[in-house]
Structure 1
Amino acid sequence: MVFVTGGSGLVGRFLIAALVARGLPVRALYRDKVPAIPSADQVEWVEGDIRDALGLQVALQDVTHVFHCAGLVSYAPQDEDALQQVNVEGTANIVDACLERPGIRLGYVSSVAALGSKTGERAEQAGLPVQLDESAKWDLGAAHNAYSTSKYLAELEVWRGISEGLQAVIVNPSVILGPADWNRSSTRLLQYAYNQHTFYTPGNINLVDVRDVVDMLMRLTLNTPIKGERFVLSAGVVPLRDLLGQAAACFGRKPPTVAVPDWAAETIWRLEHVRSLLTGARPLITKDTARAGRRPVEYRTDKVQKTLGQSFRPVAETVAWCCAQLLAQRQEMTQLSS
């Protein structure tokens, strides 16, 4: 029996479909309602919350493998408490529930945000791209945003479990790209291209295909005895302008052409911060999102490619696939509404 958290999210949706395709019995956690995803009728759904420690212990009865994909991604100041509760305390509950049932294997979806970058300081000082891998060290003395901190602390909970005998592997994906809800996760980048906005922020973005994340996560957790290790997952780094341009071309739309200078981005996030304080609304852009991509960072994935003998799909192929899927979804919704 395989237990999955975060079944309504991008990774969870594709993971559940892949597990069902393998013929594996799947039990998945849901909060408000069962997500409308393929293969949902072949899944044993359990209502609950990863913040409910006792409920998780019951849900893991007869379970042999756990995939912890649930997590909150947010850079809004209003969500700092929620990040702690969902990402850190929720992961601690999952770990504790697994420890109650010796022999369970855990596959945890962390993030490159949890790696830190202390080992890349010299390259940055020399003006070179910072290359990071699994050996990157978290700098306790540096300033980190609330999301990165929550993923780092969540990963520490998994390492705690490992020290207590838990068989667990960790994957650290970069920005995961896949055809999901237009208004959620990284798919909003593609929506931005579809809406033909004029402006873009200079900088780079590291991307990985959701299918590669799911496949590698499954293989590491189900098909290997590896435990107590983490693996960076990233297909490569591309300029944000190129990503938006590729997506716009796939959609048959006009790409953004005007770069937003750093001073303008700095002004905008400050104005958004004031607006959010006055209205309580979440800012459209934060200090972290405004500055994302300015620092040239590349993630090395030699470890996972050597371990599994598997390479990543090219980013261009992923973008084309995502756009085609999203267009098909829009056309289907248009036909249903008409």
Structure 2
Amino acid sequence: MDKVFVTGINGLLGTNLTFKLIEKGYFVTGIIRKKNNFIKPKLKNLKLVEGDLLDFKKMADAMKGCRYVVHAAAITSQRLLKLSDYYQANVLGTENIIKACFQTKIEKLIYIGTANTYGYGGLHDLGDECKSMMSPFTKSLYAMSKKRAQQIIDNAVTKLNITTVSPTLMLGAYDTKQSSGKVIQMALNKRFVFYPSGGKNFVHVADVVTAIIKAFDIKKSGQKFIIANENLTYKEFYNKMIRINNQKTALLLIPDSLLFILGLIGDFFRLLKFKTDVSSVNTRILIVKNYYTNEKAKQELHFNFTSIDKAISDWLDFYNRKI
């Protein structure tokens, strides 16, 4: 039975990955702050170790005997005020993972990046693995920290077999921490929904899980894959969600000029040390269409992607069961 070490095990991706790995016959060890934070802490063929990415000894000890490591843990909040707020988890944590992989002679490391460290594009010029990071993500504290972590990963690929898997916005079941599913929740059963003019690429979390497991067999170190699926404006996305959830909702466009003003107000409050998602960088992100292609993943990982309708339905089913 091959053993896999997973960080970020109680997140949307980590939870779905763990269930699929165990279903496929792997033994999973995960590092987590509190064991009971995992939705099924007593699951067969699962070992949970309490600790974090900065506890190098505990992490390296837990990693012993594992063949693969999937490093999915990261701080993704948009509310933090300084780049240093992301540094320990996203940068130092990645450095510790690499050191532990060397020490324990791990065969393969899968690093979970983010598509936003690559350049995006419009529908006729989609972003891909060859395009450089673009504004406004070059000013996003989260994206900047992930870019630094990616550089650390890239520096290690000659000494360790590493594949980078970089998802777009993931949706699906087991969003226990209410992460990317907030994009659904903010419109759930609302009479009116205000949406920005931009758009995003959305992907079912199950497809990211499939990509990770397929990447176990990649022999060439340094390979990078954007795991993306449907490019949708926010209006198109919310129309899907409204139809799937059978809710009566009116969609109202937020003018770009209003978002610009809100961003400046957010910047002011952030200067006063108030933690808020609203900032000029984050509102700018809402008005761009950051679209990506999945052609490389399709061609080299050989699997079919799941519709975003299914991703939305799975999120709604889990949310309704949980409440």
Aligned amino acid, residue 317 of structure 2: A
Point out which structure has higher relative CO (alpha carbons under 8 A, 6+ apart). 2
Q: CA deviation at 1:313?
A: 1.2
| Counterpart residue number, 1:270 | 264
| Counterpart residue number, 1:317 | 310
Q: CA deviation at 1:294?
A: 2.5
| Counterpart residue number, 1:243 | 237
Verify: 1:228 aligned to 2:222, yes or no.
Answer: yes
Give deviations 1:196-216, integer Å, cap 9, x for gaps.
143111111111100000011
Correspondence list, 1:8-27, <5 A: 8-27=10-29
Given that 2:226 and 2:297 are in contact with CA atoms closer than 8 Å, whether structure 1 keeps it comes out as: yes
Verify: 1:297 aligned to 2:299, yes or no.
Answer: no
| Counterpart residue number, 1:115 | 118
Q: CA deviation at 1:253?
A: 2.4
Given that 2:199 and 2:291 are in contact with CA atoms closer than 8 Å, whether structure 1 keeps it comes out as: no
2: distance between equivalents of 1:251 and 1:183? 21
| Counterpart residue number, 2:128 | 133
SS in 1 for 2:70: strand
The 1:292/1:138 distance shift into structure 2, 3 A limit, reads closer
Q: Which among 68, 85, 90 is matched to residue 87 of structure 1?
A: 90
The 1:296/1:181 distance shift into structure 2, 3 A limit, reads closer
Given that 2:118 and 2:132 are in contact with CA atoms closer than 8 Å, whether structure 1 keeps it comes out as: yes
Q: CA deviation at 1:266?
A: 1.1
2: distance between equivalents of 1:79 and 1:13? 29
Q: CA deviation at 1:157?
A: 1.4
| Counterpart residue number, 1:168 | 162
Unaligned runs of 5+ in 1: 331-338
1: distance between equivalents of 2:155 and 2:60? 18
Verify: 1:51 aligned to 2:54, yes or no.
Answer: yes
Unaligned runs of 5+ in 2: none
Given that 2:12 and 2:177 are in contact with CA atoms closer than 8 Å, whether structure 1 keeps it comes out as: no
2: distance between equivalents of 1:175 and 1:115? 14
Give deviations 1:181-238, integer Å, cap 9, x for gaps.
47621111111111414311111111110000001111112x3434220111001211
The 1:90/1:103 distance shift into structure 2, 3 A limit, reads closer
Q: CA deviation at 1:297?
A: 3.3
Give deviations 1:264-286, integer Å, cap 9, x for gaps.
111112223333444x4421422
Q: CA deviation at 1:79?
A: 5.1
Given that 1:16 and 1:39 are in contact with CA atoms closer than 8 Å, whether structure 2 keeps it comes out as: no
SS in 2 for 1:131: coil
SS in 1 for 2:37: coil
* TM norm structure 1: 0.86
| Counterpart residue number, 1:333 | none
Aligned amino acid, residue 105 of structure 1: K
1: distance between equivalents of 2:56 and 2:80? 26
2: distance between equivalents of 1:309 and 1:317? 20
| Counterpart residue number, 1:335 | none
SS in 2 for 1:132: coil
Q: CA deviation at 1:180?
A: 4.0
Q: Which among 153, 164, 169 is matched to residue 158 of structure 1?
A: 153
2: distance between equivalents of 1:251 and 1:193? 10
Which is richer in helix? 1
1: distance between equivalents of 2:246 and 2:177? 20
The 1:229/1:293 distance shift into structure 2, 3 A limit, reads same
Greater displacement, 26-35 / 145-154: 26-35
Aligned amino acid, residue 295 of structure 1: V
Aligned amino acid, residue 20 of structure 1: I
SS in 2 for 1:37: coil
Root mean square deviation, CA, Å:
2.3
* TM norm structure 2: 0.90
Q: CA deviation at 1:40?
A: 4.1
Aligned amino acid, residue 283 of structure 2: A
Sequence identity (%): 24
| Counterpart residue number, 2:9 | 7
